[in-house]
Amino acid sequence: MKTLLIVYHSQSGSTRRLARSVQAGAEQEEGVAVVLREALEADSEDLGGADAVLFGTPENFGDMSGGLKNFFDRTYYPLEPRQINLPYACFISAGNDGRGAVRRIERIVNGYPLRKVAEPVIVVGEVSEEGLVRCHELGQLLAAGLTMGIF
């Protein structure tokens, strides 16, 4: 069985709603264990044991949240020797355009290295039904890619 890890940080609850929609989409696929972890609780064992990962963050001052950055700070060096090379994608709850958060994530994950397998889902403003659907589809896409051996 493949493992899909979803790591997210949420302060207002918006990113949590997106993460749960990603989780629901991923759980549609059989043969994938979906693990949902808050960034401040997730660790290098979670990431090192995953077959793919989805990162979720609010956009804070045009950047990712400090909680997700903390996750990267705590997991990078323990995993650096392994060169884990996992497929990843991300979802952003943005007040602006979300591009700064995406750029920052992309820059950091190159060091692991992780490989982007889907375009980021950026939900601007209040979480909408359309944003939840897009996140659901993102979760399902990554889970399906794992089960089919695409990633």
| Best CA proximity match to 135, nearest among 40, 37, 28 | 28
- Tell me what pLDDT residue 3 has: 98
Q: How many CB atoms are closer than 10 A to CB 7?
A: 29
Query: Domain range for residue 57?
Result: 2-148
- Tell me what pLDDT residue 123 has: 97
Q: How many CB atoms are closer than 10 A to CB 66?
A: 16
Q: What is the pLDDT of residues 111-125, one digit of tens each?
A: 999 999 999 999 999
Q: Is 5 left (phi over 0), alpha (psi -120 to 50) or beta?
A: beta
- Tell me what pLDDT residue 1 has: 94
Using alpha carbons, list the distances in angstroms from residue 42 to 31, 74, 100, 113, 130: 22, 9, 23, 18, 28
Which residues of the chain fall below pLDDT 50? none
Domain count, the chain: 1
CATH code assigned at 62: 3.40.50.360
Beta strands in the chain (DSSP E): 2-8, 32-38, 52-58, 87-94, 115-116, 121-124
